[in-house]
Amino acid sequence: MTEQKIWKSEEVVELYNSPLLDLVYRAATIHRENHNANEVQISTLLSIKTGGCPEDCGYCPQAARYHTDVDSEALMSVKQVEIAAKRAKLLGSSRLCMGAAWRNVKDGAEFDHVVEMVKTVNALEMEVCCTLGMLTEKQAQRLADAGLYAYNHNVDTSEEYYKEVISTRGYGDRLKTIENVRKSGVTVCSGGIIGMGETIKDRCEMLLTLANLNPQPESVPINALVSVEGTPMEDLEPIPIWDMIRMVATTRIVMPKTTIRLSAGRTSMSREGQAFCFMAGAASIFAGDKLLTTPNPDIYEDLEMFDLLGLTPTDPFAKHPQPETKEVEYEGEDKKIKWSRPAHKIEKNINYSKKNKIAEKEK
């Protein structure tokens, strides 16, 4: 493990609240010391299994308990994923991130299928990322052996505010999964969402959690909430772009080498706003007209923006070598993990779930 600064909560809050131009200047300087500031890494996010999720994340239209426009879809075939990956690569993506609306990975045919998807996309010489929910050490190792480059598991917000957003699993479960991924040698992608009603302190506490991991995550996505009708967060207003810029800049300072990814919420950001985020240290975006189920800018508009800003897409494996796909026989039982079921209740989530049940009956 490398020597790394241990950040304190008040230091991060002070940074976040510092005069905006000073904050951006400091972040941009650190960005230029650690990254090629004229490059952008493009990822495509593909929903390989949509909707019907048993969790109660208050922001998510894929949670089965809320009444949204998202219909459940079964797991994609390996062929469908291969076609999507080739298309994404043609349009400049160096990474394909496959998302499944699961609480946790379960051993069996579906997981075997995902392992095949990882092998297939790795053979196309693209970085492969998965976001499949909670993961045991052995499952993480299987994905690593298949050639997985990164695993995404967001901490979402601060530990304190997490209890207002999700009640079906605990913050500790998130950290345990991240630890399992880290042990397997797969790179870690973990970030969060702002605009869910949290305080500045919560935002900074989330960054503190990530910054004090050793090593720090290789990738940190910063999402702005996209409030979706039918979810408990449907009435929340979009956050001002300045909050996003502050968040990106603070992330850059506390995690100098991490790739910061502008994720959900870009449809309500102007080009100037996004340019400011790139200036402050963002170096990656999700491309494609949808981010799992929420809207995202058109890829051609993004390519035009990159041209305007003089940003060139990075090649795959620019930061870490391509993982090898290995054929391994797995023996013995996996160490069973009892993922938590916290006892607290979130009134808003319960009300929305009741509303859904009534709507279903009335159909």
State the catalytic residue, choosing from 65, 95, 129, 204: 129
60 is catalytic: yes
* One residue of 12, 13, 45, 53 binding ligand SF4 per CB under 6 A: 53
Interactions with ligand SF4, residue window 24-43 (CB under 6 A): none
Interactions with ligand SF4, residue window 128-157 (CB under 6 A): 133
DSSP string, 96-142: EEEEE--SB--SSHHHHHHHHHHHHHHHTT-EEEEE-SB--HHHHHH
State the catalytic residue, choosing from 26, 53, 65, 252: 53
List Cα–Cα distances, 262 to 75, 132, 163, 283, 306, in angstroms: 27, 20, 25, 8, 14
Task: For residue 65, give both structure tokens.
Answer: 């308990």
State the catalytic residue, choosing from 26, 142, 174, 189: 189
Cβ proximity to ligand SF4: between 166 and 210 the closer is 166
Helices (H) and strands (E) in the chain, counts: 12, 12
Give the separation between CA 69 and CA 338, rounded to whole angstroms. Answer: 32
57 is catalytic: yes
Least distance (Å) from ligand SF4 to the CB of residue 143?
17
Asked if 62 is part of the footprint of ligand SF4 (rule: CB under 6 A), the reply reads yes
271: enclosing H helix or E strand: helix 271-279
Give the separation between CA 273 and CA 279, rounded to whole angstroms. Answer: 10
Give the separation between CA 24 and CA 242, rounded to whole angstroms. Answer: 11
Q: Which amino acid is at 70?
A: V
Least distance (Å) from ligand SF4 to the CB of residue 57?
3
261 is catalytic: yes
- For the window 88-127, what string marks contact with ligand SF4 as x by the rule CB under 6 A? -------------x--------------------------
State the catalytic residue, choosing from 169, 261, 266, 277: 261
- For the window 311-330, what string marks contact with ligand SF4 as x by the rule CB under 6 A? --------------------
* One residue of 28, 48, 60, 196 binding ligand SF4 per CB under 6 A: 60
Task: For residue 359, give both structure tokens.
Answer: 């709507």
Q: Which amino acid is at 11?
A: E
Spatial CA neighbour of 191 closest among 218, 156, 159, 161: 156
Spatial CA neighbour of 284 closest among 318, 304, 252, 314: 314
Site size for ligand SF4 (CB under 6 A): 8
List active site positions.
53, 57, 60, 97, 129, 189, 261
List residues binding ligand SF4 (CB under 6 A). Answer: 53, 55, 57, 60, 62-63, 101, 133
